[in-house]
Chains A and B, each alone.
Chain A
């Protein structure tokens, strides 16, 4: 693929519902990163994968958040029982050695 893709691009959900966000990295990129950016705020690191493994999951904001990566490729970020404070842009990036390439993000709004 030409770049990192994320889906959906926008998601509106009701408080308490579960959501699943998807990231398709650039083919061959071994590392994959998830970030969150709340409105007008800076970037918050959530988790990264090297292959299918996430060395440290403590960056996830709460136990309602989980992430997995299968086949060294696609990753999903799942938020259970969404809260209004989960509203943000969720960004994914992938890299092979150094440079991270970012996707366009998923804009999540929890009503």
Chain B
């Protein structure tokens, strides 16, 4: 099956710093999504991005489907950005998740 790898697994940053999270996938996919799970467990769907670039405030994402990777950019990070960021790909009516990047923003 498709493998989804995220890097780095853990990231600790000072408030105000920028960060880039990466998601590599091993085969062609129908779609790709980024999710954020806050420290209390609530999940939010950040981007639905099979290709191209999207921006939402301080967050943006780029997927290069031909090269099988996606990047999530967080600029001017805030403590509320802490949590785990998951990448997930859709293929054949299934969704496969990466193991996530745990981000901790220090005040």
B interface SS class? strand
Interface size class on chain B is: 10 to 19
Counted as pairs of residues, one from A and one from B, with CB atoms less than 8 Å apart, the total is: 43
Report yes or no: B48 in contact with A56, Cβ–Cβ below 8 A: no
Kindly identify, within residues 39 to 53 of chain B, every residue whose CB is under 8 Å from any CB belonging to chain A.
Answer: 41-45, 48
Q: Is B95 part of the contact surface with A, judged by Cβ < 8 Å?
A: yes
Residues of chain B at the chain A interface (Cβ within 8 Å): 33, 35, 41-45, 48, 86, 88, 92-100
Q: List 18 A-B contacts (CB under 8 A).
A: A42-B98, A42-B100, A43-B35, A43-B43, A45-B88, A45-B94, A45-B96, A55-B93, A56-B92, A93-B43, A93-B45, A95-B45, A98-B48, A99-B45, A99-B48, A102-B42, A102-B44, A102-B45
